[in-house]
Amino acid sequence: MSWMFLRDLLSGVNQYSTGIGRIWLAVVFIFRLLVYMVAAEHVWKDEQKEFECNIRQPGCENVCFDYFFPVSQVRLWALQLIMVSTPSLLVVLHVAYREGREQRHRKKLYASPGVMDGGLWYTYLFSLIVKISFEIGFLVLFYKLYGGFSVPYLVKCALKPCPNTVDCFISKPTEKSIFILFLVLTSCLCILLNCTELSFLVFKSTVKCFVQQHPKRFKSSLCECHNLRYDDCGRIGGPLLFRNLNSDSTISPVQQAEAKLLCFTRANGIPKGGPRATECSGQDSN
């Protein structure tokens, strides 16, 4: 299998990921994919041939090996890598869909197809949930199949066609146990990164929604004068903030916060002949 193909596909996800997502991608490449390609694949090479039992009964070793290793540990590791990496491609496909939609309509439909908002935000969130589910699911599966995360050096088998209970020896059990422990630790690290990124995105979205809803209360309590200009509370630069508070003009939250701060400052030391403090401060008891 060419792992470079998977690496090239995932590299495209980097430009649409958050900082935590890029760390996760680096962990997958360096501590999982690279370790698998360079070392782990060679440790489990010819594992069935190196599985030996203290009897030469035809078929006994094959039956015992199949019982204790229903799925090769290294192949299960490879399957886990593929499954936890695939959901990230949903983000790339969604961005490609946006770009294709703009080409069909021949106009700008998005500020940028790669900006994480709207449907793309939900796609990214869904991919994180799927990755976390796969990681936890494979860890549980690994534990159930092999009875833990360590490889014993001796197993006892009493299955037919073995004439009696025989001792079977697994090759390189200590080395395999170390790699399996490394696999579990990196999986836990990836789960932690995915959970952190998920929490960060939800928190960021919650704050954004709060900021968008806050001006509705802020606009009514900022000023009660009808023709207050941005210059009346101090110019910070750029166009007038608003010409009339009763107009339908949109005001950015940052500009409103600046205007409120300036109005409050002017209210404490308003110049002679200026508007009344209560007109501009708009301060409530809370």
Give me the pLDDT at residue 245, please: 41
pLDDT digits 0-9 by tens, 18-42? 888 888 888 888 888 888 888 888 8
Give me the pLDDT at residue 108, please: 76
Determine the structural domain holding residue 85 and report its residue range.
Answer: 3-51+69-151+171-210
Question: Quick one: 79 and 147 in the same domain?
Answer: yes
* pLDDT higher at 262 or 157: 157
Give me the pLDDT at residue 44, please: 87
Q: Report the CATH number at residue 34.
A: 1.20.1440.80
Question: Quick one: 114 and 145 in the same domain?
Answer: yes
Give me the pLDDT at residue 188, please: 94
Q: In this structure, are strands 166-169 and 52-53 parallel, antiparallel, or unpaired?
A: antiparallel
* pLDDT higher at 105 or 252: 105
Whole-number average pLDDT of the chain: 75
Question: Quick one: 183 and 47 in the same domain?
Answer: yes
Question: Quick one: 274 and 143 in the same domain?
Answer: no
Kindly tell me if the per-residue pLDDT of 275 is higher than 80: no
Question: Quick one: 206 and 100 in the same domain?
Answer: yes
Question: Quick one: 28 and 114 in the same domain?
Answer: yes
Give me the pLDDT at residue 191, please: 95
Q: Percentage of the chain surpassing pLDDT 90?
A: 16
Rounded Cα gap, residues 10 and 177, in angstroms = 29
The amino acid sitting at 139 is L
In a domain, residue 159? The reply is no
* pLDDT higher at 130 or 49: 130
Q: How many domains does the chain have?
A: 2
Question: Quick one: 42 and 120 in the same domain?
Answer: yes
Q: Write the CB contacts of 171 (distance below 8 Å, at least 6 apart in sequence).
A: 47, 50, 51, 52
* pLDDT higher at 177 or 284: 177
Q: What is the mean pLDDT of the segment spanning 219-247? A: 43
Question: Quick one: 246 and 111 in the same domain?
Answer: no
Question: Quick one: 45 and 130 in the same domain?
Answer: yes
pTM: 0.68
Give me the pLDDT at residue 141, please: 93
User: How many Cβ atoms from other residues are within 10 Å of residue 275's Cβ?
Assistant: 18
Rounded Cα gap, residues 81 and 62, in angstroms = 28
What is the number of residues in the chain?
Answer: 286
Question: Quick one: 239 and 175 in the same domain?
Answer: no
Rounded Cα gap, residues 39 and 222, in angstroms = 65
Question: Quick one: 181 and 275 in the same domain?
Answer: no
